[in-house]
Chain A
Amino acid sequence: MNIIVCAKQVVDVSEIKVDPNTNKPILAGVPQKISDIDKNAMEEAIKIKEKHSGKITALTVGPADAKERIKELLAMGADEGILIAQPEKLDYYVLSNILAAAIKKIGEYDIILCGEASIDLFSGQIGPRIAGLLNIPQITYAQDITAEKEKVVSERNLGDKAVTIESSFPVMITVTKEINEPRLPSLMQILAAANKPIHDWSAEDVASEKLEPKITTVDIKGVPMERKNVIYQNDIDESVGKLVDSLIKEGVLR
């Protein structure tokens, strides 16, 4: 079974600080990591490989330092990595076309796994766009995957409903964060990963046409959070009394 996992290097959103003057996020110097849900996709790929054997390729479009992140995926259990140098201008159109073209170049694949969205921008477009470009079935928001020899059965979590879908290969599946708990590689696995190949490709290597973004990000605005911040912290009974009075004044009790 050939499995391709698409993973993205992102800023660790929990480490982002906000500039108190502009309210804008400070992105410079924030630690980078593999987007959490892509690690869930990786974990799922390893489970499938453990059952059916085969090969897992980790595919990333990113800057040169993303190679360090690919090593984490190799340590987890990927067999090889591909890093495609990130073009200067990109949007989901450009990114998904590069990924789909790279997947075509890889050639043999049964299952493509992605996270439902990346934790930084959370658009959720990449998986379904790749499936559309390759013209293969898609199963999004999977909370359960059972791979068999010739087909896969997966359960989509739609919030109010769970839909169980069966598909033959090839298929693109995006997973939710709840599907599994990604493993932590052992020291031995981390050391062994150093010997696994990471191929450097460029967008020109894979895509036949020059890709221009369809969307321009014109601004990243801060989010003002102006609240009264009246905090009572002495005697509990007194605090409760003051809070109830405040809520009555606000007119929210009825």
Chain B
Amino acid sequence: MVLVYSDDHKLTLELLNKGSELARELNKSLTAVIIGKDEFSKDYIAHGADKVVIAETELNQFKAEEYTDILEGVIKETGSETILISSNKNGKELASRLAAKFKAGCITDCTNVYLKDKKLTAERIVYSGNAVAVEQFNTIPQIVTIPSKVFDPLPKDEKHKGEVIKKKIDVQKSSSKILKVQEMKTEGVNVEDAEIIVSCGRGFKNKEDIKLVSELADVLKGRTVGCSRPIAADLKWLSEDHWIGLSGHKVKPKLYIAAGISGQIQHIAGMRDSGVIVAINKDPEALIFKSADYGIVGDLYEVLPKLTDAIKTKMG
């Protein structure tokens, strides 16, 4: 049995794609798990689930200890051996704790998952984006976590049939208490879905100068501004939803323009799958040029306004 779980509806659909492929190759069925209210069982079945287990519970907030208990119960009942969980932060802490309970192997942040020599094999980025590790499971159960956007959801198939099973599962209540859930300060930017991104880095001297980037983003009709770690995490000139990199967001727009970004490997790891990459930097030796299709060596304070004007003129 192959089982998928995410606390995020969209990520569950992505997991169901890989889940159905693995289930078919392993000749097993595919189970999706919902913890709490049944909102999406029909949707999950149309996206490939053969079975949806709804773990009915009064819990309404995620706590790794309790959710691990629930999933442990469902996995045992369904006899699931291959478990796919989303790589969001809740998913990763859940998968790891679950692996501890099952004495199981776990591979997090897989960028590819497949069967090789009949063994479940996964690839993940290591050494800050300098290499890809290929890892293989020796035992079952086997648990992988998959980041968003690695797989697209399958097209909906309303004819696909599946059963919905409701289960009550006993949970050992965690002694921790959730006191507060706050939306983080964001500017409502979704860099992961953007088709054109203009990003800024340490080369900017003042917070106000970021308007040079947003003006270019506007004429490109991309309107999406990204940034490297220092701008979001250290200087906090932009909220973390702009942050592109290994610990920030991973993006793959058609066009990525990096202005004043030196090109640390952690940043490259977040944007390396972009279509066309353009770099603007005054240092001809900057690492970013190695990862760029096109580059201009020059002061961004001179280049950016000129580039904005030139595109405005050309594109009307």
Contact = CB atoms under 8 A, between A and B. Distances in A.
Whether A associates with B in a native complex is yes
Interface in B172-195: 174-184, 186
Contact of B294 (A124, A217, A221, A247): A247
A124 B92 contact: yes
Contact of B138 (A25, A140, A216): A216
Contact of A230 (B96, B220, B294): B294
B108 interface: yes
Nearest to B104: A214
Given A140-B89, A214-B137, A225-B272, A132 B101 contact: yes
B233 A178 contact: yes
B265 to A, nearest CB: 7
A225 B98 CA distance: 36
Contacts of B265: 13-14
B154 interface: no
Given A159-B184, A220-B131, A125 B99 contact: yes
B276 interface: yes
Contact of B291 (A93, A123, A227): A227
A192 interface: no
Nearest to B315: A253
Contacts of B314: 244, 248, 253
B297 A231 contact: yes
Contact of B97 (A131, A161, A177): A131
Contacts of A16: 127-128, 130
B14 interface: no
A218 B135 contact: yes
B126 A220 contact: yes
A52 interface: no
A21 interface: no
Chain B, interface SS category: mixed
Chain A, interface SS category: mixed
B120 to A, nearest CB: 10
B176 A240 contact: no
Interface stretch (B17-25, B27-35, B163-171, B305-313): B305-313
Contact of A129 (B89, B99, B109, B179): B99
A244 B311 contact: yes
A248 B105 CA distance: 48
Contacts of B83: none
A140 B64 contact: yes
B134 A221 contact: yes
A25 B126 CA distance: 10
Contacts of A158: 88-90, 184
A244 B307 contact: yes
B298 A233 contact: yes
Interface string B121-144: 101111111111111111100100
Interface string B46-62: 00000000000000000
A228 interface: yes
Contact of B106 (A121, A125, A243): A125
Interface stretch (B36-44, B198-206, B240-248): B240-248
Interface in B215-267: 220-221, 233, 240-241, 246-247, 254-255, 264-265
Given A243-B307, A250-B255, 19 more contacts: A25-B131, A120-B126, A125-B92, A140-B64, A159-B89, A161-B182, A162-B182, A162-B184, A214-B139, A221-B132, A223-B129, A223-B131, A228-B294, A230-B295, A231-B297, A233-B296, A243-B294, A252-B275, A252-B276
11 contacts: A13-B265, A124-B108, A138-B65, A163-B178, A163-B181, A214-B142, A230-B293, A231-B289, A236-B302, A240-B296, A243-B296
